[in-house]
């Protein structure tokens, strides 16, 4: 009989072979490990995935079924159910009998891919309980890359490195999941990339080299902006070609919809992206690719929907794969707490913790977290905005009004900030002040006159 220790070694050897795309050898190792550990669901799942990669769908389905039979409540069982469903679709497609569903006007075709059921960290890809991704029926994603020649430390090759990183994501996923095109006008773009000398006021060993920020209104994803730092503190050394490439690879993953981080250092979406100046940059792992592919099979809660488009909030398919809303929110809180313990001087740590508390409706804790973020960097406007909404939910209108007013003073031409402040004032029956806010916005930003939301508030106030 094989010693159990050797059987465990077979499992580890199988994972190594799997990561190296040697699926035949991986299958041999996993099969040997399962002889001594038949209830090892993760090992059996890897074995099934090896079979999928070898296009042995019949035996892969048998392994999926064994997982569901032995551990029906496990995360692997959820993925196994999805795998069986994809195999069945594949068989129907081959026979020409599969009718592609019209999902929220999403015309992309669902088909069997190895990546759609591969090892992944999909549970980390959502923020709170919401699945955020770009509309598959509205591809290509429009990308704007600023040539920030006026920014200190900017290098001419940065522009090319951004394009290279974007192409790696787009070309790595299977089929027609993603496409992207460059645009010259940032106002037309879904994703805007800018270079700045630094993102946050930070010193010491920890720093933020890149930041991807979503701009969301209700359930509509308006756009993402990505800021890339050109210099690394504390000596303001210019980032190298490899460092910029690896940073944009990580941040673009966020902008595609992977809102959280992986806990595996081998993944590009691991929480800390660091490399020495001349190191070969880390590339996308198979888990990164699998996660993004699986994300684009889920029903989005937040996307670049049309205003009148029906949205499947917290769909049954999403819950089957991701678990319940409460489970997701508590998992996000645990992840955020761990992040703040690991990076206590990082403004993003506390902002993410604030968001986790906010989603759980623990607004008092959210306020404490956002205040901590603003102590580290008073200019981090995302924390300031969320602090305003936290005060609003706490029923503290004076404190909320103070934060909304700060936002408008910082960016007086920002339509969303003025809209949110005016709406808040209307809700609190401060109509004259709301009129002042909207009038000031229109003087500074002529586009506000054509904005439907601003027009609705203006029309409402005109009748008072």
Is 101 a residue whose pLDDT tops 50? no
Q: Give the integer Cα–Cα distance in Å for 421 and 42.
A: 50
pLDDT at 203: 43
What confidence tens digit (pLDDT) does each residue in 72-92 have? 877 788 888 888 877 877 666
List residues bridging with 181 in a β-sheet.
142
pLDDT at 105: 43
pLDDT at 108: 40
Is 23 a residue whose pLDDT tops 80? yes
| Selection from 83, 373, 55, 93 nearest residue 208 by Cα | 373
A 10 A CB-CB count for 235 gives: 6
A 10 A CB-CB count for 410 gives: 13
pLDDT at 163: 92
pLDDT at 100: 45
pLDDT at 174: 63
Nearest-5° Cα angle at 189, 214 to 445: 80
pLDDT at 450: 87
What confidence tens digit (pLDDT) does each residue in 217-261 have? 888 999 999 999 888 776 778 888 888 898 999 999 999 999 888
Task: Look up residue 93 and give its two tokens.
Answer: 């497609």
Is 372 a residue whose pLDDT tops 60? yes
Is 109 a residue whose pLDDT tops 80? no
- Of the listed ranges 289-293, 326-330, 374-378, the least confidently predicted one is 326-330
pLDDT at 309: 78
- Of the listed ranges 59-68, 334-343, 350-359, 383-392, the least confidently predicted one is 334-343
Q: In sequence order, what DSSP letters do the residues of 17-77 get, joined into one string?
A: HHHTT-HHHHHHHHHHHHHH-TT-HHHHHHHHHHHHHTT-HHHHHHHHHHHHHH-TTSHHH
User: Which domains occur in the chain, in start order?
Assistant: 4-95 (1.25.40.10), 120-322 (3.40.390.10)
| Selection from 179, 165, 331, 310 nearest residue 249 by Cα | 165
Residue 337, Cβ density class (10 Å: 0-12 exposed, 13-18 middle, ≥19 buried): middle
The enclosing H or E element of 349 equals: helix 347-359
Cβ atoms of 85 and 293 closer than 8 Å: no
pLDDT at 1: 35
Q: Give the integer Cα–Cα distance in Å for 237 and 230.
A: 8
pLDDT at 367: 96
Q: In sequence order, what DSSP letters do the residues of 259-293 get, joined into one string?
A: -S-BS-TTSTTBS-----TTSPPP---HHHHHHHH
Provide the pLDDT confidence category of residue 206 given band limits of 50, 70 and 90. low
pLDDT at 132: 92
- Of the listed ranges 303-317, 330-344, 358-372, the least confidently predicted one is 303-317
Q: Give the integer Cα–Cα distance in Å for 123 and 324.
A: 11
Residues 6+ apart with CB under 8 A from 302: 130, 131, 132, 214, 216, 219, 220, 221
315 three-state secondary structure:
coil
Q: Give the integer Cα–Cα distance in Å for 320 and 322.
A: 6
pLDDT at 273: 61
Cβ atoms of 158 and 228 closer than 8 Å: yes
- Of the listed ranges 37-46, 125-134, 141-150, 390-399, the least confidently predicted one is 125-134
Q: In sequence order, what DSSP letters do the residues of 410-421 get, joined into one string?
A: H-TT-HHHHHHH
Is 56 a residue whose pLDDT tops 50? yes
What confidence tens digit (pLDDT) does each residue in 111-169 have? 433 334 467 888 888 877 788 999 988 889 999 999 888 888 888 888 999 999 999 99
Q: In sequence order, what DSSP letters do the residues of 176-211 get, joined into one string?
A: TS--EEE-S-GGG-SEEEEEES-SS---SS----EE
Which has the higher per-residue pLDDT, 98 or 140?
140
pLDDT at 116: 44
Is 104 a residue whose pLDDT tops 80? no
What confidence tens digit (pLDDT) does each residue in 261-280 have? 887 888 999 876 655 555 66
pLDDT at 270: 87
pLDDT at 314: 66
| Selection from 422, 427, 459 nearest residue 441 by Cα | 422
């Amino acid at each position: 009989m094989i010693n159990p220790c050797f059987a465990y070694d077979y499992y580890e050897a199988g994972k190594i072979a799997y990561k190296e795309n040697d699926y035949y050898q991986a299958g041999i190792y996993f099969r040997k490990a399962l002889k001594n550990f038949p209830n090892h669901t993760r090992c059996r799942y890897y074995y099934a995935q090896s079979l999928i990669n070898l296009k042995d769908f019949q035996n892969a389905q048998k392994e999926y079924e064994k997982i569901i039979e032995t551990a029906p409540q496990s995360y692997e069982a959820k993925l196994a159910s999805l795998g069986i469903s994809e195999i069945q679709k594949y068989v129907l497609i081959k026979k020409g009998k599969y009718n592609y569903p019209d999902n929220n006007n999403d015309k992309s075709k669902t088909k069997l891919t190895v990546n759609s059921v591969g090892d992944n960290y999909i549970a980390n890809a959502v923020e709170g309980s919401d699945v955020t991704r770009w509309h598959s029926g509205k591809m290509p994603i429009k990308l704007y890359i600023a040539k920030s020649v006026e920014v200190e430390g900017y290098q001419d090759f940065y522009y090319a490195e951004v394009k290279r990183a974007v192409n790696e994501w787009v070309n790595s996923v299977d089929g027609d999941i993603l496409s992207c095109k460059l645009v010259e006008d940032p106002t037309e773009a879904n994703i805007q990339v800018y270079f700045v000398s630094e993102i946050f006021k930070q010193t010491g060993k920890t720093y933020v080299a890149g930041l991807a920020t979503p701009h969301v209104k209700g359930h509509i994803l308006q756009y993402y902006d990505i800021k890339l730092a050109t210099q690394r503190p504390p000596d303001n050394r210019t980032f190298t070609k490899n460092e910029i490439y690896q940073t944009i690879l990580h941040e673009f993953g966020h902008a595609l919809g992977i809102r959280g981080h992986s806990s595996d250092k081998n993944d590009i979406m691991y929480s800390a992206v660091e490399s020495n100046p001349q190191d070969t940059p880390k590339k996308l792992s198979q888990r990164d690719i699998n996660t993004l592919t699986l994300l684009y099979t889920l029903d989005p809660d937040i996307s670049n929907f049309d205003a009148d488009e029906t949205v499947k909030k917290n769909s049954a398919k999403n819950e089957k794969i991701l678990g319940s809303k409460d489970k997701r929110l508590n998992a996000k809180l645990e992840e955020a707490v761990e992040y703040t313990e690991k990076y206590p001087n990082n403004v993003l740590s506390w902002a993410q913790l604030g968001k986790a508390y906010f989603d759980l409706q623990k607004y008092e804790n959210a306020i404490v977290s956002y205040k901590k973020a603003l102590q580290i960097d008073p200019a981090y406007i995302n924390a300031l905005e969320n602090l305003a909404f936290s005060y609003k939910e706490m029923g503290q209108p004076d404190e909320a009004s103070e934060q909304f007013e700060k936002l408008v003073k910082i960016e007086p031409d920002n339509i969303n900030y003025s809209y949110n402040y005016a709406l808040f004032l209307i809700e609190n029956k401060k109509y004259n002040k709301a009129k002042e806010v909207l009038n000031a916005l229109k003087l500074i930003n002529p586009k506000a006159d054509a904005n439907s939301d601003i027009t609705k508030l203006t029309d409402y106030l005109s009748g008072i």
